[in-house]
Amino acid sequence: MSGPDLAAALDRGAQALGVALTAGQRTQLLDYLALLAKWNKVYNLTAVRDPQEMLTHHLLDSLAVIAPLRQQRGEGAFKLLDVGSGGGLPGVVIAICCPTAQVTCVDAVAKKAAFVQQVAVSLGLRNLTGLHARVESVRQAFDVVASRAFASLVDFTTWSVGALAPQGVWVAMKGKHPDDEIAALPPTVEVFHVEQLRVPGLDAERCLLWLRPRGHA
């Protein structure tokens, strides 16, 4: 697929997901896709190799969180941690589309965190940081702690609870509705909202789970 075709597919996908992209954001997303494709072999960032597939499986799939996130957070500033971010998904996409968010992408693999740091510099994203650490050791307070394709809900929330601000929330991007994972959550964690997502061009189930420590209304 050519550059213009990818750009057109991104525009159609973003529109279907209710995300209005500025020209600058559109360019940054496509530049990010090009960096992912270019450095994938070196950094081993994703098993997906084809740019068209990267667009649907990674960019559009991550873009699906933007409208729900804006609805949850409004237009104000907030700090977001993307746990087990790998090549920066969804953190880089969030940093591009939500300029009021300060995004930290944490990964236990140094070269993946270095790649995100490189993306921040290349795209001029001053609201994006790549952090090499295990999430269990992160002690800054984040308003939103997010993950995509990371771990079970129990492990995600247990390992990252030390990074949650007092009124912070978790958001987990999942495939099929994870009934078993929800049933396994401890009583200290509650799921307060579930959204089914439809990702254009992806024939797969997707949902978004919002969680918080029980008692935090």
Ligand X SMILES: C[S@@+](CC[C@H](N)C(=O)[O-])C[C@H]1O[C@@H](n2cnc3c(N)ncnc32)[C@H](O)[C@@H]1O
Is 162 labelled as part of a ligand binding site?
Answer: no
Single out the segment in contact with ligand X by CB under 6 A; choices: 134-142, 184-192, 194-202, 209-217. Answer: 134-142
**Residue 148 labeled ligand binder:** yes
- Residue 144 neighbours by CB under 8 Å, 6+ apart: 69, 72, 73, 78, 79, 80, 81, 168, 169, 170, 171
According to DSSP, residue 161 is labeled G
**What x-and-dash track marks residues 94-113 binding ligand X by CB under 6 A?**
------------xxxx--x-
Phi-psi region of 102 (alpha: psi -120 to 50; beta: other; left: phi over 0): beta
* Shorter beta-carbon distance to ligand X: residue 77 or 149: 149
Piece of 25-33, 85-93, 191-199, 200-208 that binds ligand X (CB under 6 A): 85-93
Please report which residue ranges of 124-205 form alpha helices under DSSP H. Answer: 153-160, 179-183
Contact between 131 and 138 (Cβ < 8 Å):
yes
Per rule CB under 6 A, is residue 7 in the interface with ligand X?
no
| 190 marked as binding residue | no
Q: How far is the CB of 210 from ligand X (least distance, A)?
A: 18
Q: 170-182 as b/e, with b when 16 or more CB fall inside 10 Å? A: bbbbbeeebeebb
How far CA 1 is from CA of 7, 12, 53, 91, 197, in Å, comes to 10, 15, 10, 25, 26
Does 202 contact ligand X by CB under 6 A?
no
Closest CB 114 distance from ligand X, rounded Å: 12
Binding flags for ligand X, 151-170, as an x/- string (CB under 6 A)? --------x-----------
Residues 18-57 that bind ligand X (CB under 6 A): 46
Token readout for 47 is 């098993």
Confirm or reject binding of residue 130 to ligand X (CB under 6 A).
no
Instruction: Could you list the residues known to form a binding site for S-adenosyl-L-methionine, using ranges.
Output: 84, 89, 135-136, 148
